[in-house]
Structure 1
Amino acid sequence: MATFRGSCLCGEVAFEVDGPFDKFLNCHCSRCRKASGTAHSCEVIVEAAALRWLQGKASVTRFDLPQARSFATAFCCRCGSPMPHLTRSGREAIIPAGGFDQLLGAAPDRHVHWASRADWYVPGEGLLVEE
């Protein structure tokens, strides 16, 4: 079993997650687009017990969208980086994939809410790559 570490942009918050991941997905729902400011969120889903806070848990702010049955987001209150959070049931943890500090050796295996994707989203093939 591999363990993966992650943190926020300012370093205030750090966490670790035990692999393997249950799901690795790109969510295209309008709520994830709003919360991320991008075409989709990219998330790892694991059992709640697989997530451990190493530091700064008190600096993580959670927002539960009141009118949604299950949508929430969490972020570092200092730098605004998206951070892990538990589902409302508490059974799973949702980890923003961009928050990991190391190579994962895995990639998203599914798109969810594809029908809700942004009309300007173009999957990677055919795009120029700038480095």
Structure 2
Amino acid sequence: MTNHFGSCLCGTVNFEVKGEFDSFYLCHCRHCQKDTGSAHAANLFSHSAKLVWQSGADVVTSFTLPGTQHNKSFCKLCGSALPSDQIAGLLVVPAGCLDTEITRLPTAQIFLSSKAAWDRQSEMLPKFDGLPD
């Protein structure tokens, strides 16, 4: 069994995920664009892994978009996306909140019909290892 560790940006929330991920999706739906403020969400999914809050559970809150299963858990202090088990039997972990390396490659890109127009040619843009001058 693999264990993964993660935290929020301010360091108040720390957690462990005990178990394996079933899939890793880059989701381009409009809900994910809105709640990440980016082109897509990068989430790992598991039906069997267990989430253990090590610290800061009292500052974790969740929002579920009414009429949908779209849910986001986040730190009340810094706003960082955090794991959610709000959908029964499913753990959703934002890839960026993990501190341990993710060796699994994304399974698929989903909801491409909603892909942001400004992201369609991103692979052709100049690339920098840090902030350009």
| Unpaired segments ≥5 residues, structure 2 | none
Segments ≥4 residues shifted beyond 6 Å:
none
RMSD: 1.5
Correspondent of 2:101 among 100, 103, 119: 103
Determine the structure 2 residue equivalent to 1:35.
Answer: 35
Determine the structure 2 residue equivalent to 1:130.
Answer: 128
**Alignment: residue pair count:** 129
CA distance in 1, matches of 2:122, 2:84: 28
> Could you tell me how far 1:48 is from its partner in structure 2?
5.7
Determine the structure 1 residue equivalent to 2:17.
Answer: 17
Correspondent of 1:119 among 117, 120, 124: 117
Aligned residue for 1:130, secondary structure, equals coil
Tell me the percent identity. 37
Aligned residue for 2:126, secondary structure, equals coil
Distance 1:6 1:123, change over 3 A: farther
| Cα deviation digits, residues 93-131 of structure 1 (max 9, x gap) | 110000001211122120111111111113653332211
Structure 1 length as normaliser, TM-score?
A: 0.90
| Unpaired segments ≥5 residues, structure 1 | none
> Could you tell me how far 1:87 is from its partner in structure 2?
3.6
